[in-house]
Amino acid sequence: MKKFGFSLLFSFFCIFNTANALVCPTFIAQNESIYNVKLEPYLAAGNGTTDDTGAIQCAINHVASNGGGVVYFPSGNYVHSGLTITGTSITLQGVVESATSHNSANGSKLIYNQNSGDQIYIGGTASAKTIHIKNLSMTTNQDQTSGHFIHAYGILEKNTEGEITTDISATKLVFEDLQLFGRFHQNLNNSSYNGILLNGVNSVVMNKIKIFGLTGEYAIKLAGTNRQSDLFRFSNVTFNHESNSKPDYRVATANGLVIEDNVNSVKTFAFDLLRAKNGIVVGSSSDLPDSHYIYLLDVSIEDTLEHGIVSNNHGEYLEIKNCYIHVTGLHGIYIKENTGPTHISGCTVQRNGKKHNESNPAANKGTGILLLGQRGGSVVGNYIADNFYAGINVFPSADGYSISSNNIIDSGLDGSIPRQDYGIILHTNSQNNAVIGNILKNNGTNIYHGSYINSVITNNVEY
C-alpha cells in the first residue's frame, strides 16, 4: 500500500513542474538497456486508474538520450494522455495476450484518457529512426472525436530557391504484435478516431496487427503530404469493424487500408479486412505525385459497405494477386483511374453488389471487377461468380486490358433477385482489349459487347 501511494506521488512529480513542463527524475541505470517502467526511477503504477504519462515519457526520453534501448511494460494497464517518440533505436515492448474481440486482451495495455489526439506520436517535431513498438494492446477510456492510435510524421520542406528548410524524418519503423481496440459510439457521425497514420515516413514493417471497432475514416493510412513515403511491408494484419450493438455491415465508416498519393513500394501479405467501408483505397485526386508500385497480395476482404478494392488513381504499377473479395456493397475491384498498368490474378471475387435496391432488383449494378482506368493491364486466372450485375465490366475509357483464363459463372437467378446478368461487358468504343480463353457459364448473357475498337474476342468457352 505504501508503494502504491509513493507511485501516485512520483507520477505527479514526473509530469509537471511550476512551469507546467515535464520533469524527469535523475536517471538510474537499469539492466542492459532495458528500462522497466515499473521500476525506479519511473515507478509507473499500471493499475488502470493512475495516470502514468510522466513515468512512461521519462523512460522514453532516457532511452533516447542514452543512445537507444527498450522501454519495457510488464503486464498491467497503463493510463496515459499521449506519448511522443523522437530519437534513435527506441523500442516500446510489453507482454501481449491474443484477443478475439473488443477489449478482451490482457498483458500490457496502454489506455488513453483523452477524447482526441494521438496516443503515440513519432517524429513530427524531431527525427525518429529505428523505432520498434511490439507486444502491446492499446485502447481508450474516452469517446474519441479525432486522432490516432499511432501517428508517424516526416516533413521535408524547401524554400523558393530549393534549399531545405525543414528536414524531419521518421524511418525504419517496426510495429509487431499490436492489438488496437476502438471505442464504440452511440452517434457514429460524430466520431473520427482512426488507427495508424504514416505520413512522410520510410521503411515500415507491420506484422501481426489486429485492429477492432474503429468508427473513424481508416484503420491504416499511408500518405506523403509533406514528404514522400516509401517501402511498406505488411503481413498478418486484421481489421474488424466489429460492433456488438450494431452488427450490420452498413454501420462501417472506416476504410481498411488507405494508400494516398506520393507513396511508393507497398506490399501486403495476409491482409484480412472485415466490415470496412472500403477494404483498400489507392490514390486520391490531390495535386501530389501518384503512388507507384503497389502490391496487394493475399488479401481477404468481406462484407464492405462499398468496394473491396478501389483505385482512384495509381501510378506505375498496381498488382492485385491471390485475393478473396466477398459480399461487398458495390464492386469487388474498382479501377477508376490509372497512369500505369493494373494486374489482377488468382483472385476469387464473389457475391459483390450486396448494396442492392431491394424494391427494384433490376437496378442492381454490383460488379465483380469494374475497369475504367485508361492504361490497361491484365485480368487473368480469376474465379468470378454470383455478382449482382456483371462479372467483368469494361468501360469505354478502359484501354489495353488482356482478359483471359478467367472462370466466370453464375446461377442466373437467385429467387427474384437477378445475379450476374452479364459475364463480361465490353462497352461500345472500348479499345485495344483482348478477351481470350475465358470460361463463362450460366450468366444471363455470357459476353456482351458494343462496337469495340481494335479489340479481340476469341477462344472463350460458353455454357
Whether pLDDT at 225 is above 60:
yes
Q: What is the C-alpha end-to-end distance of the chain, expressed in Å?
A: 78
CA proximity to 280, closest of 249, 242, 239, 245: 239
CA proximity to 397, closest of 350, 355, 452, 441: 452
Give the separation between CA 113 and CA 56, rounded to whole angstroms.
14
Indicate the burial class of 351 (C-beta count within 10 angstroms; 0-12, 13-18, 19 or more): buried
pLDDT for res 134: 96
129-169 pLDDT tens trace: 999 999 999 988 887 788 999 999 999 888 888 888 888 99
Whether pLDDT at 252 is above 60:
no
* Average pLDDT estimate for 178-201: 73
Number of neighbouring beta carbons within 10 Å of residue 189? 8
The C-alpha cell at 362 is: 433490376
319-377 pLDDT tens trace: 999 999 987 888 999 998 787 899 999 999 987 776 655 555 545 577 899 998 778 89
* Domain boundaries of the chain, sorted by first residue: 27-462
Whether pLDDT at 84 is above 60:
yes
User: Is the Cα dihedral 109, 207, 338, 197 positive or negative?
Assistant: positive
CA proximity to 193, closest of 203, 204, 202, 182: 182
Q: pLDDT-based confidence at 397, cuts 50/70/90? A: confident
CA proximity to 173, closest of 83, 298, 87, 275: 87
The C-alpha cell at 390 is: 456483371
Torsion angle (degrees, nearest 10) of CA 144, 147, 149, 151: 180
Contact present, 72 and 91 (Cβ < 8 Å): no
The C-alpha cell at 5 is: 501511494
Q: Give a three-class secondary structure readout of 114-172.
A: CCEEEEEEEECCCCEEEEEEEEEEEEECCCCCEEEEEEEECEEEECCCCCEEEEECEEE
Asked, as a colleague might, if the bond just before 25 is cis with ω within 30 of 0, I would say no
Cell numbers 522497466: residue: 36
CATH of domain 27-462: 2.160.20.10
Whether pTM > 0.75 for this model: the answer is yes
pLDDT for res 247: 42
User: Rg of the chain over CA atoms, in angstroms?
Assistant: 25
CA proximity to 312, closest of 290, 278, 341, 335: 335
Whether pLDDT at 395 is above 60:
yes
Q: pLDDT-based confidence at 6, cuts 50/70/90? A: very low
* Average pLDDT estimate for 120-128: 94
Give the separation between CA 37 and CA 39, rounded to whole angstroms.
6
pLDDT for res 283: 85
Side chain identity, residue 364: N
Indicate the burial class of 427 (C-beta count within 10 angstroms; 0-12, 13-18, 19 or more): middle
pLDDT for res 355: 61
Lowest-pLDDT range, 20-34, 58-72, 204-218, 388-402?
20-34
Whether pLDDT at 385 is above 80:
yes
Element (H, E) at 50: strand 47-51
Report residue 19: phi and psi, to 5°. Answer: -95, 10
Asked, as a colleague might, if the bond just before 41 is cis with ω within 30 of 0, I would say yes
